[in-house]
Amino acid sequence: MIQELYMEERALKAAAVFLMALMCIVCVSVPLFPRLRTWAEEAREARLAEAEFAAGQMEMEDLEMREEESAGNNGVTWQLNLRLPEGTDGSMVSIHNDYVTQTIRIGIPGTDPAYFDSYPISGSSNHIDTLSYNREGEDGVIEIVTDRVYELDTEYDSDYYYFNFLSPQEIYDKVVVIDAGHGGRAAGATKKGIREKDINLAIVLRLREIFEERGGNTGVYFTRTDDSNPTFDQRVQLANRSGANLFISVHNNSLGNGRMSATSGTQVMYSVPSDRSQRLAEICLEEVTEKTGSRDRGLVEGDSIFIIRSSEVPVALIEVGFMTNREELALLATEDYQRQAAEGIYSAIQRAFAEGY
C-alpha cells in the first residue's frame, strides 16, 4: 500500500512538472505566433516568386567581350559598342532595361549564328556581371546583367551601336523605389473576392500618375507595375543597387485569424536599427492618415520582414488599411480612396526629401 502511494505521489509530481513546463512553453511561444505566421507566409511567397522567376528565364549562352576603347562620330568614348549586322540599322535595335533584375536585353534583327561567333560586343566596362546571348527566330538577343542599377546613354551610326552606363544619381536629383506588395500567384490577403495584390498595385499606379503629373527630377523605380511577382531579394536589391534615397513598400493589412472585425486604420513598419527608417515611417503614417482620414494605428517594428531587414536605405512598409474591416475594404476598392492613399505617399516622399533624405 505504501509503495502504491509512493508511486502515485511520484506520478502526480511528474504530471505537475510537465504541466508547469508546458505552461512555460506556451507563455514563451504565444508572443511568437504572429511572427511565426509571418515567417511561414513569407517563406511560401518567396518560393512562389522564385518559381515564377525561374519559369520566365531564357536559356542563354556565354558571350565574350573584346576589350578595346571605342569612340562614336562625336568623339565621345563609349564603354561598349555593338557591331550591327549587315543591312541592320541602329533604329531597328530594341533595348529593354529591367531595373528589377539589373538585366539589359538587346534585340538585334537579322542575325545568324556566325554573328555571335564574331564577338559583336567590344569595349571596356567593369559594370558587367554576365554577358550572354540567344536567338529567337531570325533575331538575336544579347543579355547583359550589371552589378548595379544603371540608365543607358546610347548612340548609333551605320556600323555600331554605342552604350554608356550611368548611375541614377548622375541623372536625377533624388531616387525613390516603390514596391507594390505581393503579385502573381502571391495574392496576399483576399476578402470578399478582393485581392490585396490588386489594391497594392492600384495605389502604386495612382502614385506613378501623380509623379508624372507633378514633374520634377526624381527618379522613381517600381518593383512592379503589372501582375508580376519579383522575389523579395529582387525587390530590396532594386533599392540597394540604385542607391535610392527612400524605399517604400505598399501593402494592406488583415487580422491574423482572417475574420472580419471592427479593427481598422493605417500602420507603418520600419527597421528598428535605423533612426532614419523610423522617422520615414512616422512621416508616412502622418501623411497617409491625413489624406485618407484613416485611423492612426501607430508604427510597428518590422525587422522580421525580409525586405525591411535587408534594406540598406531608409525603408517604410505602409499597411494602408485593414481588409478584414468591411467598411475599410469597401473604401480600399475605390479609385478615389486609392488616389487619396497615393497622394499621402507622395506627400510623405516630398516631405522626407525636404528633411534631407
Query: Which residues have a Cβ under 8 Å from the Cβ of 9 and sit 6 or more positions away?
Result: none
- What tens digit of pLDDT does each residue of 78-103 get? 999 999 998 899 999 999 999 999 99
The length of the chain in residues reads 357
Is 132 strand, coil or helix? strand
CATH number of the domain that 245 lies in? 3.40.630.40
Domain end among 115, 137, 166: 166
pLDDT of res. 72 = 61
Residue with cell 534594406: 311
pLDDT at 19 over 80: no
pLDDT of res. 155 = 96
Distance CA 255, CA 303 (A): 19
pLDDT at 3 over 60: no
pLDDT of res. 267 = 98
pLDDT of res. 256 = 85
Which residue from 96, 83, 208 is spatially nearest to 152, judged by alpha carbons? 96
- Same domain assignment for residues 179 and 321: yes
Sign of the torsion formed by the C-alpha atoms of 113, 116, 117 and 118: positive
pLDDT of res. 309 = 97
Would residue 249 count as lying in a domain?
Answer: yes
The residue-averaged pLDDT of 94-123 equals 92
Containing structural domain, residue 243: 170-354
pLDDT of res. 38 = 61
Strand intervals (E) in 109-187: 121-123, 128-136, 139-146, 151-156, 160-166, 174-180
Would residue 31 count as lying in a domain?
Answer: no
- What tens digit of pLDDT does each residue of 316-346 get? 999 999 999 999 999 999 999 999 999 999 9
Instruction: Say what the pTM is.
Output: 0.87
pLDDT at 28 over 50: no
pLDDT of res. 31 = 37
- What tens digit of pLDDT does each residue of 167-196 get? 999 999 999 999 999 999 999 999 999 999
Cβ 139 vs Cβ 108: under 8 Å: yes
Number of domains, the chain = 2
Would residue 94 count as lying in a domain?
Answer: yes
Would residue 303 count as lying in a domain?
Answer: yes
- What tens digit of pLDDT does each residue of 228-251 get? 999 999 999 999 999 999 999 999
pLDDT band at 65 (very low <50, low <70, confident <90, very high): confident
Domain end among 113, 138, 166: 166
- Same domain assignment for residues 159 and 270: no
Q: Which long-range contacts (CB under 8 A, 24 or more apart) does 73-78 make?
A: 73/155, 73/157, 74/155, 76/155, 76/162, 76/164, 78/123, 78/155, 78/162, 78/163, 78/164
pLDDT at 20 over 80: no
User: What rounded mean pLDDT belongs to the chain?
Assistant: 89
pLDDT band at 110 (very low <50, low <70, confident <90, very high): confident
Would residue 209 count as lying in a domain?
Answer: yes
Would residue 6 count as lying in a domain?
Answer: no
pLDDT above 70 covers a percentage of the chain that reads: 87
- Between the CA of residue 119 and those of 65, 139, 164, 233, what are the distances in Å? 6, 16, 19, 33
CB atoms within 10 A of CB 299: 16
Distance CA 137, CA 174 (A): 41
pLDDT of res. 27 = 42
Is 211 strand, coil or helix? helix
Residue 265's region, left for phi above 0, alpha for psi from -120 to 50, else beta, is left
The residue-averaged pLDDT of 275-286 equals 98
Domain end among 166, 189, 220: 166
N-term to C-term CA, the chain: 80
- Same domain assignment for residues 265 and 158: no
Residue with cell 528565364: 57
- Same domain assignment for residues 284 and 146: no
pLDDT of res. 22 = 46
- What tens digit of pLDDT does each residue of 150-161 get? 999 999 999 999
